[in-house]
Structure 1
């Protein structure tokens, strides 16, 4: 498990170290460094997976970072940037990125040890779901990979294939949907239950077409007819890859999710927060970027009300000002915070206070 991430001279970061826990939340103002934190991790992953000293700045994981020189912090004394992770047990791995002989890639010094989290093992050791996930599609692409290398993809574009090929895979006990009913501990059945809890009651059907590289997916409400994803809506399509990625993640694996709240009703946003907290408690390290107070409140409920996740297993990094370090906020056992700084998910209270002043003036 990653215990800290250090970034130097990359974009808004001059030199900063962020503590990581089983559940790490990145929150705060737009353009303040949340996505840059994820980009730093993705570049280290991309470089490690290639293993040849090249880090593509555009392409892997949907990255579009442009030219190398645009990534150097404006106050940097040198013309390179670096990323370092520390893992449980104190093992460290660092990556130094310098400009290549063209501007669209970086020449990278790879770690001698410690980068195995990113570069070795099954695909489920590391998964990333970006903010621009694939919307409702009648068919999806299929990855030309063996079963142990399959994952949902950074847009969720391979979700149908993963369910079709791995639907009978046993889900880890701690990730099973809590129910008094006997639900098969299989990926497809568990994905249906969790998706139903987050969005609406739904069943899933997938199939592949012989001699093609496409897979199809369909949904139905219990007792209804199967319909195309385009007739089910964005919420189901956006939430399903999150569920499948978490259920298939390796024990100790890392899952990064941007904006899990996208296209979800507020109740669904809270539910996905509870779901991700449960996955973190079951051995999947979750890094989460969100603008949703409902997602955050779901996590708080998982800690304080449901006691799924220990308070010390979660942390929030609040990015308020791009020129200042992120502020770490720790959870209390009751689901509160050690501190609640101005600007931290307080817009509801501010808006209600203004409306109350209007009512009192009349």
Structure 2
């Protein structure tokens, strides 16, 4: 099964961490570009919050982030709620069906709970046999659903409503977004071998993922090795190393037959291997993942290898939607980067601003007079006014 690409089409949010308000249109490969501390990770974390809240409870997702005071935007005015809204598509009978889903969470003024769901809604647009538009979905206001009754005010309704076939697709599509912020120390650890697994948030289970690719998707395992060789010229490939029932990774190099274990692999090489495994992991190849988000994929990478990494990101985005955060001008230092796929992220007076590249910059890139990387180095990239 191949997922609809792009999965996410538009996201709106209000008062989430440093984001006062934003509306972001998505592309198959979306690049969130901006300096450290601008709020790129906060935007990605809002998407992860949706998956977390649906997989457990909103309260658990908030607690994971340090409590509601750490999630709500801080400002001079009192802010007691935040909103996340998504427009995306799911496959129904072989055709993409547009979906709108969102919720507003806020403080519980009765103090009986840590927070309450003030509103949650879902709308799926389906074309019937006679061309009419059918609209299965729901609208929850303060824990009450018209025609259904009440639910616990601190719970989301979508996990319960997922027994309906179309709403099940909505729920599982949102839960199938994958997020990665790779940690090479975590990736060096020896772990129990888990076949058919997906890469963890910090890069856990890298060896198991590589082993699964070698056994079940050898063509794509070769793609991982080919990209790694282009990024790290002395490398031949990266493989799973099995120790009884435990798993780790090893690097094969051009210098003889020797393989190096995880402790001897450089940070840049190991991080690059993790990025490639994230892009071509089994959940992507089997059509299960709807989106793969990777924070700072260029970390510890030699600038000369940035072009190869961008090629890998582009290839993967033909199968699954890819979202990355980056502050690297080198990654965009090429004339085939589509400015429409880049969102500039800046911080102004403590507020994150996210917008499309301004028209002047788009025209310069379109006319091949400069690259986005050169504009970034010169401090000329700015979000479109009103972004």
Q: TM-score range by the shorter chain?
A: 0.7 to 0.9
Per-residue CA deviations over 1:234-257 (Å, capped at 9, x if unaligned) read 111101121112112154720101
**What residue in structure 2 maps to residue 141 of structure 1?**
191
Match of 1:120 among 172, 184, 203: 172
**Taking structure 1 as reference, are residues 315 and 205 closer, same or farther at Cα in structure 2, changes over 3 Å only?**
closer
The Cα of 1:56 is off from its aligned counterpart by 2.4
**Aligned alpha-carbon RMSD (Å):** 3.7
Match of 2:207 among 150, 156, 160: 160
Checking the alignment, whether the CA contact within 8 Å between 1:45 and 1:118 is kept in structure 2 is no
**What residue in structure 2 maps to residue 271 of structure 1?**
308
**What residue in structure 2 maps to residue 345 of structure 1?**
376
Q: Provide the C-alpha distance between the structure 2 equivalents of 1:138 and 1:259, rounded to a whole number of angstroms.
A: 19
**What residue in structure 2 maps to residue 326 of structure 1?**
354
Checking the alignment, whether the CA contact within 8 Å between 2:38 and 2:345 is kept in structure 1 is no
The Cα of 1:91 is off from its aligned counterpart by 1.1
Q: Provide the C-alpha distance between the structure 2 equivalents of 1:335 and 1:232, rounded to a whole number of angstroms.
A: 40
Query: Pairwise mapping of residues 234-313 of structure 1 onto structure 2 (< 5 A)?
Result: 234-248=267-281, 249-250=284-285, 251=287, 253-280=290-317, 282-297=318-333, 300-303=334-337, 311=338
Q: Which runs of 5+ in 1 are unaligned?
A: 60-64, 171-183, 304-310, 350-362
- Secondary structure of 2:184's partner? coil
TM-score normalised over the length of structure 2: 0.69
The Cα of 1:333 is off from its aligned counterpart by 11
Checking the alignment, whether the CA contact within 8 Å between 1:329 and 1:337 is kept in structure 2 is no
**Taking structure 1 as reference, are residues 345 and 58 closer, same or farther at Cα in structure 2, changes over 3 Å only?**
farther
The Cα of 1:315 is off from its aligned counterpart by 3.0
Checking the alignment, whether the CA contact within 8 Å between 2:365 and 2:371 is kept in structure 1 is no
The Cα of 1:46 is off from its aligned counterpart by 0.7
- Secondary structure of 2:15's partner? strand
- Secondary structure of 2:353's partner? coil
**What residue in structure 2 maps to residue 129 of structure 1?**
180
**What residue in structure 1 maps to residue 121 of structure 2?**
none
**Taking structure 1 as reference, are residues 278 and 72 closer, same or farther at Cα in structure 2, changes over 3 Å only?**
same
Match of 2:264 among 208, 228, 231: 231
**Taking structure 1 as reference, are residues 287 and 121 closer, same or farther at Cα in structure 2, changes over 3 Å only?**
closer
**What residue in structure 2 maps to residue 317 of structure 1?**
344
TM-score normalised over the length of structure 1: 0.73
Per-residue CA deviations over 1:267-312 (Å, capped at 9, x if unaligned) read 12232122112222x1221111001011122xx4444xxxxxxx48
- Secondary structure of 1:189's partner? helix
Checking the alignment, whether the CA contact within 8 Å between 2:364 and 2:370 is kept in structure 1 is no
Match of 2:250 among 212, 215, 218: 218
The Cα of 1:337 is off from its aligned counterpart by 9.1
- Secondary structure of 1:57's partner? helix
**What residue in structure 2 maps to residue 62 of structure 1?**
none
Q: Provide the C-alpha distance between the structure 2 equivalents of 1:9 and 1:319, rounded to a whole number of angstroms.
A: 16
Checking the alignment, whether the CA contact within 8 Å between 2:86 and 2:100 is kept in structure 1 is yes
- Secondary structure of 1:167's partner? helix
Per-residue CA deviations over 1:295-336 (Å, capped at 9, x if unaligned) read 122xx4444xxxxxxx48623233242436322128679667
Q: Provide the C-alpha distance between the structure 1 equivalents of 2:116 and 2:274, rounded to a whole number of angstroms.
A: 29
Q: Provide the C-alpha distance between the structure 1 equivalents of 2:369 and 2:30, rounded to a whole number of angstroms.
A: 15
The Cα of 1:208 is off from its aligned counterpart by 3.0
Report whether the alignment pairs 1:93 with 2:101: yes
Per-residue CA deviations over 1:89-145 (Å, capped at 9, x if unaligned) read 54111133334767699945354578867852798x422111x5223865432476x
Q: Which runs of 5+ in 2 are unaligned?
A: 1-6, 90-96, 118-153, 381-387
> Which one has the bigger strand percentage?
2
